[in-house]
């Protein structure tokens, strides 16, 4: 119930061209299936060691370099500490899952494509088309990293874009997300020109993008959107760091990045004042 209006089924499309340091879905960055490991659930039963055909599990833990993602360990794990994340699904299979909640969608609810970066997958358009065919409302949560053609196909099939503008400062954007800012803004312009309904979603990170210049630029972007749905400021959450450990990275969570309630209120006040 968090990803757009009403009750929604969110489809996470794996794979993201960005690598934001604060990424809250690190398990969806890689386009390939991955084994997630929740250390706190492990009871040390050793089933994974026996099940693994390549010796990736052992007394020293889980050696991801050896892992071939066969998921035998996840199959054998009794506690769910090891879990396969990601699967190939057809549009039909996804729709079938989404249809289960049909009774709850009403006029507002439907399907949300999230990720990862959903528009990095060309099949996203086919999925949107299929949703449209069966009368399910569509929301796309994107950072705009998509080619022009995909974007232009997606716009008429999408009821609402949740558009993530991570930062408006070129250097910072490149530094923290690993991608330049300019193509993102270009995409936003393309979608805007094509008449997309857009809601801005902007992460707020203490000490990174909590400056008034950024707020001013965000308001500027918002004002230029013709079919504007609103803007949400989303405070950074350190839980994202814990999630990174599930895919074998260090806990990247940073307590100092969490903005205070006053900061969030101030940012909201400034931006709304400029709209």
Partner 1 sequence: MEFSTPRGMKRPVRLSEETRRFAADSLDRKYGLDTLKTKAVVLDGIEEFSDLSDIEQYDLAIRMIAETAPVRICEGEKISGAATLGFAIEHVVPATLNGDWIFPSISHLTVDFETVLKRGINGIEQDAKEAFEKYRGTEKEPFAKSCLSCLESFRLWHKRYLGALDAADGYKSNAENLRQVPFKPAGSFYEAVQSIWFTFAFLRLCGNWPGIGRIDVLLGDYLKRDLASGALTLDEAREILAHFFIKGCEWVNGQYIGSGDAQHYQNILISGVDEEGRDVTNEVSYLVLDIFEELGISDFPTTVRLNENTDEKLLRRVAEVMRYGGGILAVYNEDTVVSAFVKAGYELCEARRFANDGCWEVQIPGKTYFTYIPFDSLQILQKKTLGEYEAAPDFDSFDELYEAYLSDLGERIEEIYLTEAKRFEEQDPFKWKRAHPCTVVSLFENDCVKRGLSYIEGGPVYNVTSPHIGGLADTVNSLFAIKKLVYDEKKVPLSDLMKILKNNWEGEEALRQYALNRYDYYGNDCDEVDSVAARLLSDFADICTSFNGKCGYSFPAGVSTFGRQLEWSHGRLASPHGRRVGEVLAANCSPTPDTEYEGATAVIRSYCKADLTKLATGAALDIRLLPSSVDGDNGLEALISLLRGFVALGGFFMQPDIADASVLREAQLHPENYRTLSVRVSGWNARFVTLDREWQDMVIKQNEH
Chain residues that interact with partner 1, rule: CB under 8 A: 1-2, 4-7, 43, 45, 47, 78-80, 100-101, 103-106, 108-109
Greatest alpha-carbon pair distance for the chain in Å reads 61
- Which of residues 79 and 90 has its CB atom nearest to partner 1 in the complex? 79
| CB of residue 229 to partner 1, shortest distance in Å | 11
Least distance in angstroms from the C-beta of 131 to partner 1: 17
Q: Which is nearer to partner 1, 151 or 160 (CB)?
A: 160
We find the least distance from the C-beta atom of residue 152 to partner 1, in angstroms, to be 27
What size, in residues, is the chain? 275
Output b/e per residue, 177-202; b: 16+ Cβ within 10 A. Answer: bebebeebbebbebbbebebbbbbbb
- Which of residues 44 and 53 has its CB atom nearest to partner 1 in the complex? 44
Q: What is the 8-class DSSP label of residue 248?
A: T
Nearest to partner 1 of 47, 177 (CB atom):
47
CB 229 within 8 A of CB 241: no
Minimum Å distance from CB 234 to partner 1?
11
Dist. CA 196–CA 88, nearest whole Å: 29
**Minimum Å distance from CB 103 to partner 1?**
4
Q: How far apart are CA 215 and CA 209, in angstroms?
A: 8
Scored b (16 or more CB within 10 A) or e, 246-273 reads bbbeeebbbeebbbeeebbeebeeebee
> How far is it, in rounded angstroms, from Cα 8 to Cα 4?
7
Complex with partner 1: residue 43 or 134, whichever CB lies closer = 43
Least Cβ distance, residue 184 to partner 1 (angstroms): 24
Nearer to partner 1, 26 or 110 (CB): 110
């Amino acid at each position: 119930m968090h990803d757009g209006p009403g009750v929604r089924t969110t489809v996470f499309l794996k794979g993201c061209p960005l690598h934001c340091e604060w990424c809250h879905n690190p398990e969806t960055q890689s386009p390939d299936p991955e084994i997630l490991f929740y250390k706190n659930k492990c009871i040390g039963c050793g089933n994974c060691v026996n099940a693994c055909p390549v010796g990736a599990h052992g007394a020293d833990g889980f050696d991801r370099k050896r892992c071939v993602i066969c998921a035998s360990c996840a199959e054998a794990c009794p506690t769910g500490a090891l879990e396969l994340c990601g699967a190939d699904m057809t549009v039909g299979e996804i729709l079938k899952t989404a249809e289960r909640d049909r009774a709850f969608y009403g006029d507002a609810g439907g399907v949300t494509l999230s990720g990862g970066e959903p528009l990095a997958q060309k099949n996203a358009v086919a999925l949107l088309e299929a949703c449209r065919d069966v009368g399910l409302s569509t929301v796309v949560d994107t950072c705009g990293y998509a080619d022009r053609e995909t974007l232009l196909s997606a716009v008429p099939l999408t009821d609402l874009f949740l558009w993530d503008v991570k930062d408006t400062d070129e250097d910072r954007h490149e530094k923290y997300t690993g991608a330049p800012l300019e193509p993102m803004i270009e995409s936003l312009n393309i979608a805007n020109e094509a008449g997309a309904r857009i809601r801005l979603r902007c992460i707020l990170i203490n000490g990174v993008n909590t400056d008034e210049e950024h707020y001013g630029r965000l308001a500027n972007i918002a004002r230029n959107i013709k079919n504007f749905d609103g803007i949400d400021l989303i405070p950074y959450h350190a839980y994202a760091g814990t999630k990174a450990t599930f895919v074998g990275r260090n806990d990247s969570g940073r307590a100092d990045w969490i903005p205070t309630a006053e900061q969030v209120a101030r940012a909201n006040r400034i931006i709304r004042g400029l709209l």
